[in-house]
């Protein structure tokens, strides 16, 4: 309910976000620190994300499966970088069925180790490869500072895990899945993303190479929106995952993993939302349309509701809800559904019934600009076109915003100013020392080295030495 105004994004972006998540009933705080309850409206959004991804995973040959949440603690210790990366964040089960366990179990922070153990058992020959499996589940990382969707102790995600015969195939898979995520982000979520390579200091603990999608939020900060890792032979060696080739020679497998989590819900909120609340992209919105009846007496009521019944049938191909709540005004309902981000509102009053029209109001163009009358004849088509147009303009707007907030600073002072408000796309020598110095002085981190690079070379924005690649630097969620 929208009794009080949200804080505006410009005055307090962080509070705007927190209050919006609660008021729109996307999620709520659970009694356990750092955990969230995802409420039906938020879960419906996540289910739409799941469907968009799942369809793409299947189209690229992947199958779903389920692995247990419990992993023997000793498994994590088999891959040195992996255990160092995840040890501080583990939730550990020490008691089961009333007795102290001989070996403590960790609740999965991610499943590479358990996958390694099982794939080693299943894979014997080149005929068994590739293995292309995806898991929809939740994972647990004990985070110090948590925020709904963005960083929660338990989060929902998918984790893909594949095994291949060659290094080239594993690299191709890691890149393919990064493309799949980008296609989803751009076309379903209307979120522009930069595909890039993670730096050594930012890569996944245990990976040979990590790729990510980076997106800019409404406050100019970056959000890592998905990751795809080429794990090399690291986990295959740690777990003895080997295969016999055509000539009966034994080799280690090459593996990948890739994930997208409920963090992405945070990206959708922070990329598209405005001071009125959420703006959901039509392809993912739990409700694409909300119908609000307008009437003043019983006679008008039955006229209008009758009309809405036939509308419901005509618009059956869209996800639609009719707001029949009693005792609240249409104006209140307008505000409420604007806050909850429904892309298109349909108003039906007695005059609309007479004239065989409805009033449409676009969420992406608040006020008069986005409100227009449309004839009942051909309405389904008109609605479809309008939703497609909303989807496209949300993407364009977000892309314009990113362009306007991506800078090419000429010196460190300009660099420091740039990362206060957006992305700095700067030459970097590639040394961890410069990366660390930048972080210390500006709080900005190297988000990624974009795959799409300009020609030529330049001078590192930090040390002035020669640099072959440009990187995106930004403060990040």
Residues forming contacts to its own copies in the complex (CB under 8 A) are 28, 30-32, 35-40, 42-44, 46-47, 63-72, 75, 87-98, 104-105, 107, 114, 117-118, 121-122, 133, 137-138, 140, 142-144, 153-154, 156
Residue placing its CB nearer to its own copies in the complex, 137 or 393 = 137
Q: Choose between 30 and 476: whose C-beta lies nearer to its own copies.
A: 30
d(CA 175, CA 212): 10
As a whole number of angstroms, the longest Cα–Cα distance in the chain is 84
Specify the residue, 118 or 269, whose C-beta has the smaller distance to its own copies: 118
**Contact (Cβ atoms closer than 8 angstroms) between residue 205 and residue 86:** yes
Nearer to its own copies (CB atom), residue 87 or residue 166: 87
The 10 Å CB-count burial string (b at 16+, else e) for 347-368 is: bbbbebbeeebbbbbbbbeeee
Q: Considering the complex, what minimum distance in angstroms separates the CB of residue 471 from its own copies? A: 31
Token pair of 326 as six digits = 């009693």
- Quick check: 359 and 371 in contact, CB under 8 A? yes
Least spacing, CB of residue 68 vs its own copies, in Å: 4
The minimum distance between CB 250 and its own copies, in angstroms, equals 20
Q: Which is nearer to its own copies, 20 or 36 (CB)?
A: 36
Q: Whose Cβ is closer to its own copies: residue 153's or residue 225's?
A: 153
Tokens of 137: 């589940």
- 364: CB partners within 8 A, 6+ apart: 279, 343, 370, 390, 393, 394, 397
Beta carbons of 422 and 447 less than 8 angstroms apart = no
Cβ–Cβ < 8 Å for 423, 403: no
Pick between residue 82 and residue 198 the one whose CB is nearest to its own copies.
Answer: 82
Instruction: Supply 400's token pair.
Output: 């314009």
Burial letters 44-63, b for 16+ CB under 10 A, else e = bbbebbeebbbebbeeeebe
d(CA 126, CA 250): 10
Cβ partners under 8 Å of residue 298, min gap 6: none
Query: How far apart are the C-alpha atoms of 361 and 338, rounded to whole Å?
Result: 10
Smallest separation, CB 97 to its own copies (Å): 3
Q: How far is the CB of 63 from its own copies (least distance, A)?
A: 4
Smallest gap from residue 37 Cβ to its own copies (A):
5
Phi, psi of 216 (to 5 degrees): -95, 135
> Whose Cβ is closer to its own copies: residue 154's or residue 179's?
154
- CB 439, min distance to its own copies, A: 23
Distance between CA atoms of residues 183 and 320, nearest Å: 26
Q: How far is the CB of 26 from its own copies (least distance, A)?
A: 11
Core vs surface per residue 420-432: b (16+ CB within 10 A) or e: eebbbbbbbbbbe
Question: Cβ closer to its own copies: 156 or 415?
Answer: 156
Question: Among residues 91 and 359, whose Cβ is nearest to its own copies?
Answer: 91
* Minimum distance from residue 118 beta carbon to its own copies (Å): 6
| Residue 29 phi, psi (nearest 5) | -75, 135
Q: Look up residue 84 and give its DSSP letter.
A: H
Q: Name which of 262 and 391 has its Cβ closer to its own copies.
A: 262
Alpha-carbon distances, residue 31 vs 36, 38, 146, 159, 248 (angstroms): 8, 13, 14, 27, 56
Shortest Cβ distance from residue 108 to its own copies (Å)? 11
Determine the Cα–Cα distance for residues 386 and 398; give it in Å rounded to an integer. 18
Q: How far is the CB of 96 from its own copies (least distance, A)?
A: 5
């Amino acid at each position: 309910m929208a009794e009080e105004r949200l804080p505006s994004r410009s005055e307090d972006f962080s509070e705007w976000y927190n209050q919006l998540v609660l008021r729109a009933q996307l999620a709520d705080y659970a009694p356990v620190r750092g955990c969230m309850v995802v409420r039906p409206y938020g879960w419906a959004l996540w289910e739409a994300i799941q469907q968009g991804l799942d369809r793409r995973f299947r189209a690229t040959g992947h199958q779903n499966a389920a692995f247990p949440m419990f992993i023997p603690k000793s498994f994590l210790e088999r891959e040195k970088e992996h255990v160092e990366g995840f040890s501080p964040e583990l939730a550990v089960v020490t008691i089961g069925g009333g007795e102290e366990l001989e070996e403590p179990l960790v609740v999965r922070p991610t499943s590479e180790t358990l996958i390694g153990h099982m794939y080693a058992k299943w894979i014997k020959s080149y005929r068994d490869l590739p293995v292309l499996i995806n898991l929809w589940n939740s994972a647990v990382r004990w985070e110090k500072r948590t925020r709904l969707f963005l960083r929660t102790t338990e989060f929902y995600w998918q984790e893909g895990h594949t095994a291949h015969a060659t290094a080239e195939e594993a690299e191709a898979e890691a890149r393919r899945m990064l493309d799949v995520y980008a296609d989803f982000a751009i076309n379903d979520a209307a979120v522009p993303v930069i595909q890039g390579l993670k730096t050594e200091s930012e890569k996944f603990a245990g990976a040979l190479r990590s790729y990510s999608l980076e997106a800019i939020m409404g406050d100019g900060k970056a959000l890592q929106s998905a990751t795809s890792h080429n794990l090399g032979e690291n986990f295959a060696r740690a777990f003895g995952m080997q295969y016999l080739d055509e000539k009966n020679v034994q080799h280690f497998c090459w593996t990948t993993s890739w994930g997208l989590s409920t963090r992405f819900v945070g990206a959708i909120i922070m990329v598209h939302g405005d001071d009125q609340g959420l703006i959901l992209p039509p392809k993912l919105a739990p409700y694409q349309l909300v119908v609000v009846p307008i009437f003043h007496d019983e006679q008008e009521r039955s006229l209008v509701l009758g009309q809405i019944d036939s509308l419901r049938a005509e618009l059956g191909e869209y996800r639609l809800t009719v707001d029949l709540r009693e005792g609240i005004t249409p104006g209140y309902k307008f505000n409420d559904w604007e806050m909850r981000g429904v892309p298109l509102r349909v108003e039906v009053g007695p005059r609309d019934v007479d004239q065989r029209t409805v009033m449409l109001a676009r969420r992406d163009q608040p006020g008069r600009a986005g409100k227009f009358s449309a004839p009942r004849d051909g309405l389904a088509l008109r609605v479809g076109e309008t939703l497609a147009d909303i989807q496209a303009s949300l993407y364009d707007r977000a892309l314009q915003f990113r362009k306007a907030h991506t800078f090419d600073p000429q010196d460190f002072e300009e660099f420091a100013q740039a990362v206060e408000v957006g992305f700095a796309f700067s030459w970097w020598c590639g040394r961890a020392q410069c990366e660390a110095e930048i972080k210390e002085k500006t709080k900005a981190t190297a988000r990624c080295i974009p795959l799409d690079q300009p020609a030529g070379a330049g001078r590192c924005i930090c040390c002035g030495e020669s640099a072959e690649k440009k990187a995106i630097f930004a403060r990040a969620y």
